[in-house]
Amino acid sequence: MAKDEYKEFRLVGTRPDRPDGLDKVTGRARYGADIAAPGMLWAAVVRSPHAHARIVRIDTSKAEALPGVKAVITRADFPEGLTGEAWNMQENTMAGERALYDGHAVAAVAAISALIAQDAARLVEVEYEILPHVTDVDEAIKPDAPVIRAGAADATVPEGMPPNVVRYMEFGHGDLDAGFAAADLVMEKTYKTEATHQGYIEPHACLGQLGSDGKGEMWVCTQGHWYIRKMCTDVLGLDPAQLRVTPSEIGGGFGGKTTIFMEPLSLALSRKAGGRPVKVVMSRAEVLRATGPTASASMDVKIGMKKDGTMTAGKVVFRMQGGAFPGAPVDMALYCAFAAYKVPALHHEGFDVLANRPRAAAYRAPGSPMAAYAVESLVDEMCKELNLDPIDTRLKNAVRDGDQSSYGPKFGSIGLVEVLEAMKAHPNLQAPLGPNQGRGVASGFWFNHGGDTSVSMAISEDGTAQVSIGTPDIGGLRASIALMTAETLGIAYDDVRVNVVETGALGVNEPTHGSRATFASGKAAVIAARQAITEMCRRAAAEWGIDAEAVEWVDGAAQPAGPNAGKFPPMTIKEIAAKMSSTGGPIAGHHESVPDGVGASFGAHVVDVEVDPETGRTTILRYLVVQDAGRAIHPSYVEGQYQGGAAQGIGWALNEGYIYGDDGRLQNPVFLDYRVPVASDLPMIDTVIVEVPNPGHPYGVRGVGETGITPPLPAIANAIHAATGARLRSLPMNPPSVLAAIKALG
Amino acid sequence: MSKVHVTTTVNGDTVEFLTDPRETLLDCLRDKLGMTGSKEGCGTGDCGACSVMLDGVLVSSCLVLGVEAEGKTVDTIEGMAKGNDLHPLQRKFVEHAALQCGFCTPGFLVASKALLDQNPDPTEEEVRYWLAGNLCRCTGYDKIVRAVLDAAAELRGEAA
Amino acid sequence: MSVTVHLWSGLRRLTDGAETVEVEATTIGEMLDALVVAHPGLGPLIEAGVSVTVDGEMKPSRHHAIGPENEIYLMQRLRGG
């Protein structure tokens, strides 16, 4: 569908109240920890206090003897012989021969109360032999670093690489030497980012039950309950179809709830306790120490630029640690590094490195914020060196429809130029700046994702509709799905009920991740609704005695298509639904696919900061997010994604970061010390929704969830430089580091 | 450890429970009284998701012991609406899309009501500093602050 | 029918130095199978999961038809948050 063929919409683009709003403002909505079951036990987990240690002996006898304790498990209670990713997940769920990071689970207890379980956990005796550890990526990649796991490298790693390198990647195009030779300015710098946590306010929680017959149930806060089902059954050696997983409401995820942590423990404890349901709720310290923060990164960037801003060549080398298992998002970071630029010669090289930290999980556009921090900072450094406007320079090098991307394939329809033009026109660019104030600009990119999707919908007896989706609603998804379904059927928004259903009710769904839910579940819901429309047209045609092809669907009613089809008054959805039992039975639609037509998303941010030269504290004065949404189905929740992404990026830039001591222990596992932005840290966050419709979605949707976290890291670094003259090439840019950088200027 | 009998008033109702002296008021509300609207996000008083009013004072219920509720009055999110009539703050949070995941929302609502009860006409800055004890990771606070200011205007009888 | 597949250059080691590989295939599935036959070293990577783009668009189905006119890239499997 060409861009100008989109019709005016009746509902898409409006801002109705979300269907789950009432439950969520009254405290009725049930999240992971908000449920209890008859006979329920409570769990507590014993965790390693050491970054790296051999587990010599575990004695559970005292814990088992405590009255009220019903089960104690260790790795011995899990099946042996797993390989590959299943083994990785099992090893991360419960340590085997060695504890690999501070917080790694080594045993778990179930008891009749939470307090008894905690008391019993303290009675589990674990004897450790402490081993040398490493937590910094640049230390971990050294040839003589402590080896986290021999033989963990996959086929991409050539012979002779350091022992903790487990994946290697390299790609590019063009003549790099010629590109750098053609430049008027070549600069090369190194940037570092620290690991951050998604920081969802709801700690992980689940209620699991597993009988000796291998049948089980689970209630869990997750972005994707089919992933939970597959991972738990892989780790425990069960049949996936026998585990029924129901998603609770979810208190934030941002990628961190796309995998398992303590969920298999609830099932293993339940089985050992005679099938009694077991509730596991993590504390905040457990969340920070032992779930899945993002990777930390060390990145070399080299760029060649002509005096007019034309980029001639670029080269990046990224080193990332994602904890004690493979999976740092170095591949995606490389793909994103130069995605916003058309450069004749590029080379990318990346290393996934093991270290004694918790296993990284996805975090909003995994890899992209780090890459942007490095590349967008250096572009800014070069613009300042050459006295160039940062937006015009980005426009000059911007990728457009059909351009070859930095990672290989050609771009389809994209909106980077439209985003940059909209940014240039925004009044924030004209705001005057005072002393110690500066403005920074950066752009960002995310691919977006399709993924396994299964949706069903049915027409009720009164012509209203229900839609069953398998992607949990984290930020207004039910509203978007209801809008698109109602738009398609030609009925009212309030006449659609959207249910997020359990694994027993649909085919496999990937999680709400990759900015895919509104795109993929939405596209499937529209296709399912169109199936129902086809059936309703067929029923009307049969009533009228004409061909089904001679009936069309207009404004929620079947009507003859043109004068030759016959003269009949429109038959409304209510009339068709009222008679459905006597015209062939229930009317429904469903769609299962891995949708193609995913539309990539670009965004750009402008931030004004003021830096206190006495303390080094950075205050955000003004913040603008401009991003291509393709089509905003519910603009309020699109704005919310932009604002939330920006706020997380601001936290990553200015304050957040994992702090490990020399002993390899995490030193800031509480919100007081792992400081996420609070209301008084931020101004209003201005947004501009650019709409360059995605031709791959019936209503033009691009994913919007992830791109927004990418530009803040470099935009703020660039603004701090503009305000102070100091360039911060390491995150976080907290007051001590900014102050030190200012002092170093002399 | 022997348990303590506690009698207290929650949202106007007299309730009783037995509690281990180590259990927090939040634990008692959630696990003994079935009032799961108040959430635990941190257990250390940093996130505000467990905000309740204790004898008219805004507290983090994870930092109050269950035994301390003896003879006192507790008001939680479950008591904010009067029957089916939502408090203006609750309505404005939905209208302004001031929640995404909704987990922090009960705490924000309780804390915001405490603010407006004592300061019916707060500035944006006053709202931001008052709510600095409540963490939201989804919204960037923009729509929350707008919802609180709009609810305050409505409560003062001003057109939004 | 012969199709040209662009690999990421780190894979050259596994493909006797080639960064683009020509194989006989009419679908993505046939192409992936033919790649493994021609260069067995690619087997574990393809088994572990890769993404395939055809003319710039991710195509998840092995049954998607391809021909000599298509621009085909093999990429690391993409995920998201």
CATH number of the domain at C8, please: 3.10.20.30
C24 domain residue, yes or no: yes
Q: What is the pLDDT of residues A468-524, one digit of tens each?
A: 999 999 999 999 999 999 999 999 999 999 999 999 999 999 999 999 999 999 999
Tell me the angle at which helices B142-155 and A635-654 cross, rounded to the nearest 10 degrees: 120
Asked whether residue C26 is domain-assigned, the answer is yes
Min Cα–Cα distance to chain B from A120, Å: 14
Report pLDDT for A3.
40
Q: Is A29 on the interface with B (CB under 8 A)?
A: yes
Is A596 in Cβ contact with C58 (below 8 Å)? yes
Confidence of residue A6 (pLDDT cuts 50, 70, 90): low
Residue B123 contacts by C-beta under 8 Å, 6 or more apart in sequence? none
More confident of the two residues C17 and A54: A54
Mutation target among A112, A201, A633, A652 for the B interface, most CBs of B within 10 A: A201
CB contact (8 A) between residue A202 and residue B78: no
Q: Percentage of chain A surpassing pLDDT 70?
A: 99
Q: Is residue C81 part of a domain?
A: no
Contact: A408, C79; criterion CB under 8 Å: no
Is residue A65 scored above 70 in pLDDT? yes
Q: How confident is the model at residue C56 (pLDDT cuts 50, 70, 90)?
A: confident
From chain A residues 262-281, the ones with a CB under 8 A of any chain B CB are 281
Q: What 3-state DSSP class applies to A53?
A: strand
Interface contact B103-A28, CB threshold 8 A: no
Rounded CA-CA distance A671/A678 in Å is: 11
Residue A447 to residue C78, Cβ atoms within 8 A: yes
Tens digit of each residue's pLDDT (9 = 90 or more) over B2-58: 899 999 999 999 999 999 999 999 999 999 999 999 999 999 999 999 999 999 999
CA separation for the pair A253, A472 (Å, rounded): 10
Q: Name the token pair of A146.
A: 């402590």
Distance in angstroms between the alpha carbons of the first and the last residue of chain C: 38
Q: Which domain holds residue C26?
A: 2-76
Residue C58 belongs to a domain: yes
Q: Is residue C27 domain-resident? A: yes
Nearest CA in chain C to A703: C80
Number of cross-chain residue pairs from A and B with Cβ atoms under 8 Å apart? 193
In eight-state DSSP terms, residue C27 is: B
Residue in A18, A31, A647 nearest the CB of B103: A31
Q: Does pLDDT of A429 surpass 60?
A: yes
Confidence of residue C14 (pLDDT cuts 50, 70, 90): confident
In the predicted structure, residue A4 carries a pLDDT above the cut 70: no
Question: Cα(A674)–Cα(A676) distance, rounded to whole angstroms?
Answer: 6
Question: Beta A618-628 vs A601-611: how paired, if at all?
Answer: antiparallel
Residue among A599, A569, A559 at smallest CA distance from A450: A599
A2 in reach of chain B (CB within 8 A):
no
A380 neighbors A441 (Cβ within 8 angstroms): yes
Q: Say which residue the tokens 């993002």 belong to.
A: A294
C52 found inside a domain: yes
Average pLDDT over residues B57-85: 98
Please write the tens of the pLDDT for every residue from A130-151. Answer: 999 999 999 999 999 999 999 9
Contacting A residues, span 42-101, partner chain B, CB-CB under 8 Å = none
Contacts of A450 in chain C (CB under 8 A): 58, 60
User: How many structural domains compose chain C?
Assistant: 1
Distance from CA of B90 to the nearest CA of A (A): 6
Tokens of A389: 């406007």
**pLDDT tens, A700-736?**
999 999 999 999 999 999 999 999 999 999 999 999 9
| Terminal-residue alpha carbon distance, chain A | 59
SS (H, E, C) A333-370: HHHHHCCCECCCCEEEEEEEECCCCCCCCCCCCCCHHH
**Minimal C-alpha gap between C73 and chain A (Å):** 6
Mean pLDDT of C45-72: 91
> For residue A200, which residues of chain B lie inside 8 Å, CB to CB?
101, 103, 137
Q: The tokens of A709 are what?
A: 């976290």
Residue A408 has its nearest CB partner, among C11, C14, C75, at C75
Using a CB–CB cutoff of 8 Å, tell me whether A447 touches chain C: yes
Mean pLDDT value across chain A:
97
Assess A283–B contact: CB distance below 8 Å, yes or no.
Answer: yes
Angstrom distance (rounded) from CA B144 to CA B150? 10
Residue C78 pLDDT class (50, 70, 90 cuts): confident
pLDDT category of residue C58 using cuts at 50, 70 and 90: confident
Tens of pLDDT, residues A569-578: 999 999 999 9
- Under the banding of pLDDT at 50, 70 and 90, the label for residue C13 is confident
- The answer to pTM > 0.80 is yes
Question: Residues of A numbered 448-467 whose beta carbons fall under 8 angstroms of chain B's beta carbons: which are they?
Answer: none
* pLDDT tens sequence across A223-249: 999 999 999 999 999 999 999 999 999
* H or E, element range at B129: helix B124-130
Residue of A nearest to B36 (CA): A34
Contact B142 A680 (CB under 8 A): no
Indicate the pLDDT class of residue A2, thresholds 50, 70 and 90: very low
State whether residue A25 sits within 8 Å of chain B by CB: yes
For residue A277, what pLDDT is reported? 98
The residue among A373 and C78 whose pLDDT is bigger is A373
- Choose among B35, B97, B131: nearest Cβ to A640: B97
Helix (H) or strand (E) holding A453: strand A453-459
H helices then E strands: how many in chain A?
19, 26
What is the separation of C-alpha A151 from the centre of its chain, rounded to a whole number of angstroms?
30
Average pLDDT over residues A315-327: 97
pLDDT digits (tens, 9 = 90+) for A598-628: 999 999 999 999 999 999 999 999 999 999 9
CB contact under 8 A, B94 and A21: yes
Shortest CA gap A30–chain B (Å)? 8
Q: Give the best residue of A332, A349, A446 to mutate against chain C (max C CB count within 10 A).
A: A332
Phi, psi (deg, nearest 5) at residue A619: -110, 130
Q: Tell me whether A410 touches chain C (CB under 8 Å).
A: yes
3-state DSSP of A606-667: EEEEEECCCCCCEEEEEEEEEEECCCCCCHHHHHHHHHHHHHHHHHHHHCCCCCECCCCCEC
Distance CA(C65)–CA(C29), nearest Å, equals 9
Q: Is B139 in Cβ contact with A640 (below 8 Å)?
A: yes
Portion of chain A with pLDDT greater than 90, in percent: 98
Ordered by where they begin, the domains of chain B are 4-79 (3.10.20.30), 88-155 (1.10.150.120)
